[in-house]
């Protein structure tokens, strides 16, 4: 069985067959963390978590939607942190691939949500790890995380896209590395090098579905059943068997998200 650490089953691409697809996951997927992107998806994500026993949710605003951050939205995110199926704040972070929202707005949104995670330990007596989205923004992501002592909270760098030297920095902070379908691409040498370098007990399996489908489904709608191809590629790169990859990454995710079997 596999732990899917990053999915978006509330996405409209699943509207036509969501219930049928999610029900079919039980044959190979033991747990799913459905990750929020904005205020609308947050509501839908928690509805899924309440509907399905094996689905958990996160609460947070993606940098693409950083302009949604307000006093009211921050309060709403904070209210979700006490939900029994909430296991993380995310996905949050920085995305400099696009010019908008401005970098300053993204940074402010990122920092406020990090502080929510830190406050949760005090207010809710609950440690809430971070699901970090970082694209073309390694330096600023790391500096913000360091200045806000994210090592005290923990989390995962989702859809990791940086070289080994950057992976080492985040590993030193105690963070996990999220590995998805890109690792199966022939031209993904940088990520393959990272997977070879990172200890298996610091890797999480993820799809980011419906996006980022692995080979042989590249370019098509992705779903958690495709994690088998990602696990097989990691096994080949690490020189271990498939069962070792799924077992270790399962335990990694259970530990990070404090899910007790």
Residue 179: phi, psi to the nearest 5?
-120, 125
Q: What is the pLDDT of residue 123?
A: 73
Does residue 23 fall inside a structural domain? Answer: no
Q: Which domain holds residue 140?
A: 2-15+28-257
Does residue 185 fall inside a structural domain? Answer: yes
Give the CATH number of the domain where residue 8 resides.
Answer: 3.20.20.140
Q: What is the pLDDT of residue 236?
A: 98
- HSE toward the beta carbon, residue 3, CA cutoff 13 A: 23
Q: What is the pLDDT of residue 261?
A: 66
Who contacts 206 (Cβ-Cβ below 8 Å, separation ≥6)?
4, 5, 6, 7, 158, 159, 178, 179, 180, 227, 230
Q: What is the pLDDT of residue 148?
A: 96
Does residue 21 fall inside a structural domain? Answer: no
Q: What is the pLDDT of residue 169?
A: 98
Those residues of the chain that have pLDDT short of 70 are 124, 261
Contact 97, 63 (CB under 8 A): no
- Total number of domains in the chain: 1
Q: What is the pLDDT of residue 127?
A: 84
């Amino acid at each position: 069985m596999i732990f899917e650490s990053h999915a978006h089953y509330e996405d409209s691409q699943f509207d036509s067959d969501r219930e049928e697809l999610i029900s079919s996951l039980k044959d190979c997927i033991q747990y799913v963390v459905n990750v929020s992107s904005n205020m609308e998806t947050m509501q839908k994500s928690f509805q899924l978590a309440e509907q399905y026993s094996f689905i958990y949710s996160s609460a947070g605003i993606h940098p693409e939607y950083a302009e949604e951050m307000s006093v009211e939205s921050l309060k709403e995110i904070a209210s979700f942190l006490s939900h029994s199926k909430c296991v993380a704040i995310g996905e949050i972070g920085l995305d400099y691939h696009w010019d908008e929202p401005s970098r300053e707005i993204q940074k402010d949104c990122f920092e406020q949500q990090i502080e929510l995670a830190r406050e949760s330990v005090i207010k809710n007596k609950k440690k809430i790890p971070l699901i970090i989205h970082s694209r073309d923004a390694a330096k600023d992501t790391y500096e913000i995380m360091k200045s806000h002592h994210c090592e005290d909270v923990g989390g995962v760098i989702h859809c990791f896209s940086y070289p080994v030297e950057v992976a080492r920095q985040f590993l030193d902070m105690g963070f996990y590395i999220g590995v998805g379908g890109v690792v199966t691409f022939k031209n993904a040498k940088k990520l393959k090098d990272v997977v070879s370098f990172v200890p298996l007990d610091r890797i999480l399996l993820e799809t980011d579905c419906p996006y980022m489908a692995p080979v042989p489904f590249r370019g098509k709608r992705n779903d958690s059943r495709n994690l088998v191809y990602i696990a097989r590629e990691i096994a080949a790169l690490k020189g271990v068997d498939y069962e070792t990859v799924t077992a270790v990454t399962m335990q990694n995710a259970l530990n990070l998200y404090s899910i007790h079997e």
